[in-house]
Chains A and B, each alone.
Chain A
Amino acid sequence: MTAALAIRDLKKTYRNGHVALKGITLEVVEGDFFALLGPNGAGKSTTIGIVASLVNKSAGEVTIFGHDIETDLAAAKSCLGLVPQEFNFNQFEPVGEIVANQAGYYGIERREAFARAENYLRRLGLWEKRRGMARELSGGMKRRLMIARALVHEPRLLILDEPTAGVDIEIRRSMWDFLREINASGTTIILTTHYLEEAESLCRNIAIIDEGELIENTSTRRLLNTLHMETFILDIADPLEKLPELPGHSVRLVDECTIEADICRGEVVNDLFSQLSAQGIHIVSMRNKTNRLEQLFVRLLEGNGIEAC
């Protein structure tokens, strides 16, 4: 199967000497929902910029569905849709025209371009705003406008650079559903996000970049399986001043009504609850302290590897 995106030994050094990418090799298979994660300044946006030919690479190869961006750029571009991190549309242009014009740049006739624009604007809840200027849209609407614009030429590969940044949870969830639908219809999706819950929920494969280098590239499931310990928060019924000794368990009193417990993979938790009951401590609720992927992400970036129990 042809890779939707293949990156080989990609390097980028900016004119000021800053080395943004130190030789990244990465492959995204067709049909995948792929997360590209990393802290701010890790090199994610530079990678995406090079793939979209908005940034000149210093070395390396990039192919999109087998089309090299150096030798077969037009064909490579035809396969790609991009939703960038920053708003990059004309704020003084009507919403409908922004989407239809984008189709026009791909050689799609005016009538067909407007029909497609209507389809995507309706699906993303922007049809009523089509005649209004883009600057009048809310932040969430602007993000959805960029998604409609990126899809109007029906690309085989869609790259979204933090598409849900600053979007409220309800709209974020509806955008997730929309992206799942697009992916199910055959579009390969690459997503960067700071909401790791989003990556865990949507993506089948994950790559993590840090300081211009790829530090992890695996399936979401396999990555989560490497997590040996999770921290849970236990809310207790009656306030405590001091936590009693609980042999064999790593627990802390966070405040008078909250206990934190580290629980290893495969550990039977009945003993912990038995000991707590024996001490007259009753648990009223329990939840995971952090998103699992977030824990892994932080550990990987700190270079701590995976913690063993």
Chain B
Amino acid sequence: MTPHQKLTALRTIVTKEILRFARIWIQTVLPPMITTALYFIIFGNLIGSQIGDMDGFRYMEFIIPGLIMMSVITNSYANVVSSFYGSKFQRHIEEMLISPVPNYIILIGFVAGGVTRGLIVGIAVTLVSLIFSPLSIFNLWVMLSMIVLTAILFALAGFINGAYARNFDDISIIPTFVLTPLTYLGGIFYSISMLPEFWQKASLANPILYMINAFRYGFLGITDISLLASYSISIGFILILYTFSIHLLRKGQGIKT
């Protein structure tokens, strides 16, 4: 295939992926907006008013970046895992496999779909947050780069989950038992400086902590972790997961016999 043909194939996959979640926006875009609005009302407004300031900011302002990040993580992951597993389950992944489109284009196409959904939901949640608190941006580039890197990372993780999944249970086990706990323990609702020393150190093993803190830095200019560590962890994980995903596609994990 020529580079132009590869680009056309990539556009086709990305368009197909975006149309897939856009057709079912009531299931894909609306629920995170409602859920996050409830977080803002209950934790930000009702409980937050009793908590007082956190690192010099109102509690509502403190949790907004983390909640936006949580919705981006959840949705970029969920989009790819459900779409890729669905294409295995209905076997329409074969449409791509019999075509000359290279594996890396297939992977980038699925990941781009997940990133797009993650970012659309992130924007939607940000708009909802404006009802409760004015938006303050400390460093736009850190904020944008970190949200995009995080969406790519979790879209890749969703792809790997989808490749290994053998049934619908398998696509909900990782989000329920791994992703959600790590996200909640990743410093959305608190600063790790509040934790005892042991748990501060244990928290450093959670990669999501690095992303949420860097993203919060983009909004508020405060972070528990150095930006260098956050970028290194994010980019490092992306490279590892990308290489592993390409290996799975080449091997035909879950898609070839």
Contacts and interface: CB of A to CB of B under 8 A. Distances in A.
A233 interface: no
Q: Give the dominant DSSP class at B's interface.
A: helix
Interface in A52-106: 52-56, 73-75, 77-78, 80, 82, 84, 86, 88-93, 97-98, 101-102, 104-106
A107 B9 contact: yes
B8 A109 contact: yes
Q: Give the dominant DSSP class at A's interface.
A: loop
B96 to A, nearest CB: 6
Interface in B16-41: 16, 19-20, 23
A56 B257 contact: yes
Interface residues of B, number: 31
Contacts of B101: 105-107
Contact of A106 (B4, B5, B11): B5
Given A56-B256, A56-B257, A104 B94 contact: no
B50 interface: no
Interface in A184-205: none
Given A90-B90, A107-B9, A73 B257 contact: no
A93 B101 CA distance: 20
Contact of B1 (A74, A80, A98, A113): A74
A125 to B, nearest CB: 22
Nearest to A55: B257
Nearest to A14: B257
A104 B2 CA distance: 13
A56 B252 contact: yes
Nearest to A86: B91
A2 B92 CA distance: 31
Contact of B98 (A82, A86, A91, A92): A82
Contact of B9 (A14, A15, A106): A106
Contacts of B87: 90
Contacts of A74: 1, 100, 102
A278 B256 CA distance: 67
Contacts of B90: 88-91
Contact of B8 (A56, A82, A108): A108
B225 interface: no
A92 B27 CA distance: 15
B176 interface: no
Nearest to B1: A107
A97 B256 contact: no
18 contacts: A14-B257, A52-B97, A54-B97, A54-B98, A55-B257, A56-B256, A74-B102, A75-B100, A84-B94, A86-B91, A92-B23, A104-B8, A105-B13, A105-B99, A107-B1, A107-B2, A107-B6, A110-B8
Interface of A: 14-15, 49, 52-56, 73-75, 77-78, 80, 82, 84, 86, 88-93, 97-98, 101-102, 104-110, 113, 149, 153
